[in-house]
RNA sequence: GGGCUUGUAGCUCAGGUGGUUAGAGCGCUACACUGAUAAUGUAGAGGUCCGUGGUUCGAGUCCACGCAGGCCCA
């Protein structure tokens, strides 16, 4: 059976399609899993994509990363089940449907029923599934698409419910509140999407106040603030544009790295002397620079009690002295007095003993205000979060039913406990008349009181933008709204601890982005006020005293039966085996009965879609309701990979659920890959028109070059600048070279009708130096590539494979071995060459196959199909029909020969130097030369180079290498020394410069002495030191009278003397070259024999042919090479100064 | 604003634990080579290693502060 031969250029797109068809026909993917039955499992989790949009080139990137390791682990013999999945819930789908229908959330339940709306979502979410499946196949991503998990299916939702119930039973599910945009006028919360509607942000003019909070004197504040003037009135300044939130203040936040000042000044409303604290950067906003302040004793000269104005025309304070400065971190922990306390008729509240402290807030800036932020946990999201982290309570008061709530009710007015302000509207939500002369807004009333109390530092009208409800045009409040939470903070330490056992690529995402996120963890807000998603399975009585969390469809049915019995429901909608849909609105129509007989209503929220995807390790098997064994076998994952943007998304929810449910990591290794940008580093977008179409790319370049480029160009976790020119380069340089190498092999193997066998091979010991070298390099490559892939670094593996193929295998081994392949009969040496190249190509096919699965398959099949029958019969490593079913070769380390690799590198470098010298001397490689000279300083280099002398000579066309050493008489070795700074630096430190200079002045005699005696005493700056041989590097980079080239310690000189014989041989070579060209131009086959007649016109040429006729005939496969006086009907060979008519004919026998 | 990340030749990227003259590929220029040939070799041009300070005998590498791009969060 012959090796397939191909015409240039290879169509890589077609190759991909052909291999794909073959895979399908032979069920290779299925076999790659089934053939590993009973072997250890390598667990991979597919992060489910959403099919509501077309896939992009970045998906090719992400899925290549995933695919590589599934295939690699299969090659290692593991079984790698790869269950696909689809993410189907969520806001993007709702928005898409609303856009298509031309409706808003308001219209749901009015213009369109929830039922129809959700039906629409369900239809929309899989709209691009066909395209996704197509891409999956074409790019060669092996994942099981026949039995994927789908998050909207009842079984999947049921699993989510079961998991939620587990958490509920552990006490990890609770109802609390979050701060959300809320419209009191409309009585509804607003989504961030609604807030982003045009026109919602308006300029408004508000009364703002810099409030001053009085520091309480205790250990902490004394340590920081106690000055030479005793205990004084020290105030912390904080600015707010919403004075109505000040009665709800329970903390003050500073930036821990911000610089703050303690300033002595006067209150402009009370005229009391006082000390205030504010950020240094904002000092100029409140204080005026005057001449007074330039005096060193300004405190003493300042007339603190003067009746003169204390502010200038710009409103800046003129009487001040800076007393101290410190950072925010110094201030944390200081306590202060409450502004609106019980003594003035304002309410006590739970936890107030922990309130009124300075805390750290990472959101604090010095852009405006005072660099200190007033915290009211009930009216700001930042405030809420910072307060939670610092254990600052919120100011909550009970309503008529005893339920705790903020100081503002849901209609937007102060609750009755608010003393003199009780019942006041915080903004004008009821449309009351504001035009009366005495009318005061609540903000104004509060500020007036503060001025009187001496707690206002500065009051100003201030214009700023503020969000408004798009329906009522009234200002939005940030307000606490009910939410369900998972108490992730309860397992925070465990989350952190187990995260440290996860192998993150890159590591910094695990320790940094993810680690920091865990350190600052708050509870997971599960609630979403939406329609298309997994409903929260909790039913409650109206008085909230009784509730039930449903964990299965069976349980739900049983509870409905109870409700029917209690006549709360008329019938059980699921009783007759009807299809159960757990989505809204169906679950909303189910009412249950509490143990005390009260009706229970479902909590209307849906859960965060991230719960859906984080639950996939369990829900994909319908666990915990069934398939315990399946689940156990596939938990946790050995490997997952997604974009780095999933860090706080999927990576977190997987981890959180894994820790809470199983007290385990959910994945052991994870690659967080970066973005795919366009070639200029811009984000790809359809709008900008710079998005790359994955289908067109794969068709044009083939899937392999696309994948290889993405992996080899940059590590997956760096952003990739996708440049099609780069794919072209990979295609040409790597795949083109590899294809050429294969074609070369196939061409000559077929000519010799040679077929390698796994059994009958030339023994390793009998292989040539070059064969053993490339096989040594191959083993080193196996070690290296496996190491990188084991370490989840595909980029380094790809680069190593690429380097081996292009530089070592093609450009050195094949180039130097060419004639062994085409010359003469099938000798042992020729067989050795075939077998060596065959082994390299087969191993390369295996190693590359995870990254370039199609080409790897193509190469493997082309190389081994001819041996398959025998391999199958004897069940050898090459028995599998597909490279993806083979077991990856282990490196045969016994064949790694470091000395051999070292001397071949010497050969490569010496050849390069010789080429360089030829170039300088204008001597083409075809002109043979007598010798090169190589100075050697030690015996081992001489020996090493000597072993590869033949290779070097052949490569650079010289007769032999002459070594120059101390003993040789041929020339004077001129040695020079270079200081070894690394060694010397450690030894001499600051004296290094002088020592180095002294070394460079060493005489030949000194060098010789150092070499012979092993040490040399010299003087540096009058001090004696002793040099060891290791302190310097001795080299010979000059040969007097010779043209030399050097590369590090290597030096080469070329003898350019030309003898007549050398000239003749050069001519013979020229002639061979021209005849070969002529053969090729005449369209002759490689194996054709020829007869050549040359015009007998040039004596030199005639002499050359006479001397080298055999050589010429052998090289050109000429049976006859004769001269004639006249040559007609042929062509003319031109070279050097010659012009020779020639006649060439194919020899028929 | 915070966290993480990137910044080295025109482009894409390498540059363990600091060592003096910073590399590769592509692209460009010139020359050579030629039965693997859309390949290859040699040489050349091309660098404030993002900036500023610091540590050190010595910094692309370590530290601090910035600048610019990216992602996530707010």
C-alpha span between A162 and A47 (Å, rounded): 21
Distance A52 CA to B2 C1' (A): 33
Verify cis geometry, omega within 30 degrees of 0, for the bond prior to A506: yes
Q: Is the pLDDT of residue A611 over 90?
A: yes
Chain A span 751-810 residues with beta carbon within 7 Å of strand B: 795, 806, 810
Tell me, what's the pLDDT at A763? 93
Take residue A926 and report the two structure tokens written for it. Answer: 């075809």
Q: Is the CB of A686 under 7 A from strand B?
A: no
A150 touches strand B (CB under 7 A): no
Q: Which one has a higher pLDDT value, A977 or A545?
A: A545
Interface residues 81-110 of A with strand B (CB < 7 Å):
none
**Closest alpha carbon to C1' of B6, residue:** A718
Q: Is the pLDDT of residue A1149 over 60?
A: no
Per the structure, the residues numbered 402 to 431 in protein chain A that have their CB within 7 angstroms of any atom of strand B are none
In whole angstroms, B38 C1' to A814 CA is 19
Q: Is A122 within 7 A of strand B by CB distance?
A: no
Whether any strand B atom is under 7 angstroms from the Cβ of A1067: the reply reads no
pLDDT at A463: 79
Tokens representing residue A632 in the block: 């156990």
pLDDT tens profile A165-198:
999 999 999 998 888 888 888 777 776 666 766 6
pLDDT, residue A65, reads: 94
Rounded distance between C-alpha atoms, residue A210 and residue A84, angstroms: 57
Q: What is the DSSP letter of A340?
A: S
Residue nearest B57, CA–C1′ metric: A990
CB atoms under 10 Å from CB of A98, counted, come to 19
DSSP letter, residue A86:
E
A983 touches strand B (CB under 7 A): no
User: In this model, does residue A457 exceed pLDDT 60?
Assistant: yes
**CB of A926 nearer than 7 A to strand B:** yes
CA distances A934 to A737, A909, A927, A931, Å, are 33, 12, 20, 10
- Beta pairing partners, A535: A606
Strand B proximal residues, A:335-364, Cβ < 7 Å: 362-364
Q: Burial of A296 by CB count in 10 Å (0-12 exposed, 13-18 middle, 19+ buried)?
A: exposed
pLDDT digits (tens, 9 = 90+) for A915-940: 888 877 777 788 888 888 888 877 88
Query: Could you give the residue ranges of the DSSP H alpha helices within A170-235?
Result: 192-195, 219-225
Is the C-beta atom of A1049 closer than 7 angstroms to strand B?
Answer: no
Q: How far is the CA of A1070 from the C1' of B32 (A)?
A: 14
CA pair distance A532, A606, nearest whole angstrom? 8
Give me the mean pLDDT over the A1109-1134 stretch: 80
Q: Which nucleotide is nearest to A646 (CA to C1')?
A: B72
A720 Cβ contacts chain B strand, under 7 Å: yes
Determine if strand B comes within 7 Å of the CB of A732.
yes
How far is it, in rounded angstroms, from Cα A214 to Cα A234? 6
Average pLDDT over residues A685-692: 72
Name the least confident of A218-222, A467-471, A879-883. Answer: A467-471
Dist. CA A413–CA A416, nearest whole Å: 9
Q: How much is the pLDDT for A562?
A: 92
pLDDT band at A1111 (very low <50, low <70, confident <90, very high): confident
Beta strands in A660-813 (DSSP E): 667-673, 676-678, 720-722
CA distance readout (Å), A842 to A140, A510, A798: 20, 38, 16
Give the position of tokens 């993150």: A504
- How far apart CA A97 and CA A86 sit, in angstroms, is 18
E-assigned strands of A1002-1147?
1016-1020, 1023-1027, 1032-1038, 1044-1047, 1050-1055, 1090-1095, 1118-1124, 1131-1135, 1138-1146
Q: Which residue has the higher pLDDT, A168 or A907?
A: A168
Q: Encoding tokens for residue A311?
A: 């502010």
Q: What is the pLDDT of residues A351-378, one digit of tens each?
A: 989 989 998 887 787 777 888 889 999 9
Helix axes A898-921, A949-956, angle to 10 degrees: 30
Higher per-residue pLDDT: A304 or A350:
A350
Which residue has the closest alpha carbon to B69 C1'? A681
pLDDT at A1002: 79
A1095 CA, B40 C1': Å apart = 33
pLDDT band at residue A1028 using 50, 70 and 90 as cut-offs: confident
Q: Indicate yes or no: strand B within 7 A of the C-beta of A986.
A: yes
Specify whether the CB–CB gap between A688 and A682 falls below 8 A: yes
A818 touches strand B (CB under 7 A): yes
The predicted pLDDT at position A773 comes to: 92
Looking across all nucleic acid strands, the nucleotide with the smallest C1' to CA distance from residue A709 is B12
Nucleotide with C1' nearest the A509 CA: B4
ipTM of the complex: 0.91
Task: Check whether residue A510 has its CB closer than 7 Å to nucleic acid strand B.
Answer: no
- Strand B and A382 CB separated by under 7 Å: yes
Whether the per-residue pLDDT at A994 is higher than 90: the answer is no
pLDDT > 90? residue A482: no
**Nucleic strand B within 7 A of Cβ A516:** yes
Q: Residue A901 corresponds to which tokens in the numbers above?
A: 């690799």
Mean pLDDT, rounded, of chain A? 87
Under 8 Å between Cβ of A327 and A258:
yes
CB A433 under 7 Å to nucleic chain B: no
In A295-398, the DSSP E strands lie at 320-327, 357-360, 372-375, 397-398
Residue A988 pLDDT level (bands cut at 50, 70, 90):
confident
pLDDT of residue A908: 86
Report d(CA A395, CA A380) in Å as an integer. 13
Å from the A257 CA to the B52 C1': 21
- Report CA A363 to chain centroid distance, whole Å: 27
Distant-in-sequence, close-in-space partners of A207: CB < 8 Å, separation ≥ 6: A243, A441, A443, A444, A447, A459, A460, A461, A462
Q: A77-86, A299-308, A426-435: which range is least confident on average?
A: A299-308
pLDDT at A135: 95
A769-790 vs A57-75: helix crossing angle, rounded to 10 = 110
**Residues of A 1108-1127 whose CB lies less than 7 Å from any atom of strand B:** 1116
Q: Say whether the CB atom of A684 is under 7 angstroms from strand B.
A: no
Q: Which two tokens stand for residue A1038?
A: 């000059």
- Please identify which residue in the block is written with the tokens 């193509």: A858
Percent of chain A surpassing pLDDT 70: 96
Give the per-residue pLDDT at A112.
92
Quick: pLDDT tens for A1049-1067: 778 888 888 888 888 888 8
Angle of the A129-138 helix axis to the A12-26 helix axis, nearest 10 = 100
pLDDT band at A230 (very low <50, low <70, confident <90, very high): low
Closest-CA residue to A185 (of A472, A481, A443)? A472
What pLDDT digit, counting tens, does each position of A375-391 carry?
A: 999 998 888 888 888 88
Condensed to tens digits (0 to 9), the pLDDT of residues A49-100 reads: 988 888 888 899 999 999 999 999 999 999 999 999 999 998 888 888 988 9
Query: What one-character DSSP code corresponds to residue A491?
Result: G
**Do the beta carbons of residue A653 and residue A488 sit within 8 Å?**
no
Confidence at residue A1103, expressed as pLDDT on a 0 to 100 scale: 84
Q: Do the bridges between strand A201-214 and strand A456-467 make them parallel or antiparallel, or are there none, so unpaired?
A: antiparallel
> Residue A263 pairs with which residues in a beta bridge?
A276, A322
Q: Which nucleotides of B are covered by protein (CB under 7 A)?
A: 1-6, 11-14, 19-20, 25-26, 31-43, 56-58, 69-74
What is the rounded radius of gyration, in angstroms, for the C-alpha atoms of chain A?
42
pLDDT of residue A1054: 85
Count the helix, strand and coil residues of chain A and give each as a percent rounded to the nearest 5. 45, 20, 35
Q: What is the pLDDT of residues A246-276, one digit of tens each?
A: 999 999 988 877 788 888 888 888 888 888 9
- Rounded CA–C1' distance between A586 and B71, in angstroms: 40
For the cut 90, the answer to whether the pLDDT of residue A651 exceeds it is yes
Are A75 and A888 a contacting pair, CB within 8 Å?
yes
Average pLDDT over residues A1096-1100: 79
Cα four-point dihedral sign A980, A981, A985, A990: positive
Nearest nucleotide by C1' position to the A729 CA atom: B26
Strand B near-CB residues (< 7 Å), A 205-264: 257
Ramachandran quadrant class, A1024 (left: phi over 0; alpha: psi -120 to 50; beta: rest) = beta
- Mean per-residue pLDDT for A792-813? 91
Q: How far apart are CA A692 and CA A101, in angstroms?
A: 29
Residue that has been written with the tokens 């291999």 in this structure: A19
Whether pLDDT at A1088 is above 90: no
Query: Residue A1115, CA: closest nucleotide via C1'?
Result: B35
Beta bridge partners of A277: A236, A262
What's residue A795's pLDDT? 92
N- to C-terminal Cα distance for chain A?
27
A19: its two tokens: 């291999």
Catalytic residues of A, by residue number, are 48, 87, 610, 646, 650, 683, 686
For the record, the structure tokens of A1147 come out as 């020899």
Q: What is the pLDDT of residues A308-350, one digit of tens each?
A: 778 888 888 888 888 888 888 888 889 999 999 899 889 999 9
Determine the nucleotide nearest to A980 by Cα–C1' distance.
Answer: B19
């Amino acid at each position: 059976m012959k090796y397939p031969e191909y015409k240039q250029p290879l169509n890589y797109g077609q190759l991909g399609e052909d291999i794909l068809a073959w895979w399908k026909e032979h069920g290779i993917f299925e076999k790659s899993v089934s053939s590993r039955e009973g072997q250890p499992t390598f667990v991979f989790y597919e992060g489910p994509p959403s099919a509501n949009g077309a896939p992009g080139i970045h998906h090719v990137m992400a899925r290549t990363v995933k695919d590589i390791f599934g295939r690699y682990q299969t090659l290692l013999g593991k079984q790698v089940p790869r269950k696909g999945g689809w993410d189907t819930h969520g806001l993007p789908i709702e928005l898409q449907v609303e856009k298509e229908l031309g409706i808003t959330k308001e219209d749901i339940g009015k213009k369109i029923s929830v039922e129809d709306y959700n039906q629409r979502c369900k239809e929309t979410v899989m709209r691009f599934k066909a395209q996704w499946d197509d891409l999956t196949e074409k790019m060669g991503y092996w994942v099981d698409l026949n039995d994927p998990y789908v998050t909207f299916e009842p079984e999947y939702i049921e699993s989510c419910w079961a998991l939620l119930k587990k958490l509920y039973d552990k006490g990890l599910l609770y109802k609390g509140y979050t701060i959300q945009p809320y419209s009191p006028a409309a009585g509804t919360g607003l989504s961030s999407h609604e807030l982003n509607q045009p026109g919602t942000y308006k300029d408004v003019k508000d009364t703002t106040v810099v409030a001053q909070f009085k520091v309480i004197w205790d250990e902490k504040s004394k340590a920081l603030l106690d000055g030479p003037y005793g205990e004084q009135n020290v105030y912390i300044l904080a600015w707010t544009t919403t004075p109505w939130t000040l009665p709800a203040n329970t903390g003050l936040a500073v930036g821990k790295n911000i610089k703050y000042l303690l300033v002595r000044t006067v209150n402009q409303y009370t005229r009391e002397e006082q000390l205030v604290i504010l950020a240094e950067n904002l000092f100029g906003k409140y204080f005026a620079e005057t001449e007074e302040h330039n005096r060193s004793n300004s405190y003493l000269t300042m007339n603190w009690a003067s009746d003169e104005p204390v502010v200038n025309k710009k409103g800046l304070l003129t009487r001040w002295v800076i007393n101290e400065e410190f950072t925010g971190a110094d201030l944390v922990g200081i306590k202060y007095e409450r502004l609106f306390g019980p003594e003035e008729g304002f309410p006590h509240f739970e936890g107030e003993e922990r309130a009124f402290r300075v805390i750290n807030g990472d959101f604090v800036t010095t852009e405006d205000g005072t660099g200190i932020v007033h915290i009211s946990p009930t009216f700001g999201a930042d405030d809420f979060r910072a307060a939670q982290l610092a254990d600052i309570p919120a100011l909550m008061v009970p309503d008529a039913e005893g339920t705790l709530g903020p100081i503002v009710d849901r209609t937007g007015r102060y609750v009755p406990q608010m003393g003199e302000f009780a019942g006041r509207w915080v903004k004008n939500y009821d449309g009351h008349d504001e035009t009366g002369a005495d009318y005061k807004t609540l903000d104004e009333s509060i500020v007036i009181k503060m001025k009187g109390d001496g707690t206002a530092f500065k009051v100003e009208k201030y214009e700023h933008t503020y969000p408004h409800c798009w329906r009522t045009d009234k200002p939005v409040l940030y307000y606490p709204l009910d939410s369900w939470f998972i108490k992730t903070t309860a397992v925070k330490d465990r989350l952190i601890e187990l995260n440290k056992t996860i192998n993150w690529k890159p590591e910094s995402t695990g320790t940094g982005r993810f680690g920091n996120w865990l350190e600052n963890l708050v509870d997971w807000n599960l609630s979403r006020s939406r329609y298309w998603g997994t409903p929260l399975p909790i039913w409650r009585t109206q008085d909230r005293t009784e509730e039930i969390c449903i964990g299965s469809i069976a349980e739900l049915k049983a509870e409905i039966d109870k409700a029917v019995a209690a006549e709360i429901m008329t019938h059980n909608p699921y009783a007759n085996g009807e299809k159960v849909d757990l989505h809204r609105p169906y679950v909303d129509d189910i009412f249950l009965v509490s143990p005390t007989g009260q009706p229970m209503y479902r909590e209307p929220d849906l859960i965060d879609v991230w719960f859906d995807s984080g639950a996939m390790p369990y829900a994909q098997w319908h666990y915990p309701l069934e398939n315990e064994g399946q689940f156990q076998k596939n938990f946790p994952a050995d490997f997952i990979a997604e974009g780095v943007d999933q860090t706080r998304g999927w990576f977190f929810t997987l981890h959180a659920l894994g820790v809470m449910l199983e007290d385990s990591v959910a994945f052991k290794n994870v690659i967080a890959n970066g973005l795919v940008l366009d070639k200029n580093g811009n984000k790809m977008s359809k709008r900008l028109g710079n998005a790359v179409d994955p289908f067109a790319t794969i068709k044009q370049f083939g899937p392999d070059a696309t994948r290889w480029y993405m992996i080899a160009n940059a590590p997956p976790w760096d952003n990739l600048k996708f440049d099609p020119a780069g794919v072209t380069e990979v295609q040409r340089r790597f795949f083109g070279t590899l294809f050429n190498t294969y074609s070369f092999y196939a061409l000559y193997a077929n000519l010799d009708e040679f077929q390698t066998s796994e059994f009958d091979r030339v023994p390793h010991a009998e292989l040539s130096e070059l064969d053993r070298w490339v096989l040594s390099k191959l083993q080193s490559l196996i070690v290296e590539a496996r190491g990188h892939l084991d370490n989840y670094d595909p980029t380094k593996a790809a680069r190593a494979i690429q380097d081996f193929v292009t530089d070592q295998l093609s450009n050195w081994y094949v180039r130097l071995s060419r004639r062994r392949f085409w010359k003469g009969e099938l000798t042992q040496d020729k067989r050795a060459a075939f077998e060596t190249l065959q082994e390299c190509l087969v191993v390369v096919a295996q190693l590359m196959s995870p990254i370039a699965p199609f080409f790897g398959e193509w190469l493997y099949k082309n190389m081994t199909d001819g041996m398959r029958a025998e391999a199958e019969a004897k069940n050898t490593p090459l028995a599998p029909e597909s490279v993806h079913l083979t077991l990856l070769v282990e490196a045969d380390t016994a064949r790694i020969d470091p000395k051999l690799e070292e001397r071949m590198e010497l050969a490569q470098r010496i050849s390069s130097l010789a080429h360089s010298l030829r170039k300088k001397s204008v001597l083409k490689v075809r002109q043979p030369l007598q010798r090169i000279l190589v100075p050697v300083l030690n015996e081992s280099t001489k020996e090493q180079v000597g072993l590869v002398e033949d290779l070097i000579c052949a490569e650079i066309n010289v007769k032999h290498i002459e070594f120059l050493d101390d003993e040789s008489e041929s020339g004077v070795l001129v040695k020079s020394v270079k200081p070894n700074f690394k060694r010397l630096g450690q030894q001499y430190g600051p004296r290094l410069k002088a020592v180095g200079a002294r070394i460079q002045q060493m005489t030949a005699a000194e060098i010789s002495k150092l070499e012979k005696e092993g040490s040399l005493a010299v003087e540096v700056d009058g001090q004696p030191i002793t040099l060891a041989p290791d302190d310097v590097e001795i080299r010979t980079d000059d040969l007097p009278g010779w043209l030399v080239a050097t590369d590090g310690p290597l030096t080469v000189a070329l003898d350019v003397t030309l003898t007549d014989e050398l000239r003749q041989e050069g001519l013979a070579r020229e002639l061979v070259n021209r005849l070969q060209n002529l053969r090729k131009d005449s369209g002759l086959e490689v194996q054709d024999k020829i007869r050549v007649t040359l015009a007998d016109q040039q004596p030199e040429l005639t002499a050359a042919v006479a001397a080298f006729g055999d050589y010429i005939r052998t090289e050109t496969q000429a049976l006859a090479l004769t001269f004639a006086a006249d040559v007609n009907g042929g062509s003319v060979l031109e070279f050097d100064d010659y012009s020779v008519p020639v006649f060439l004919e194919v020899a028929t026998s």
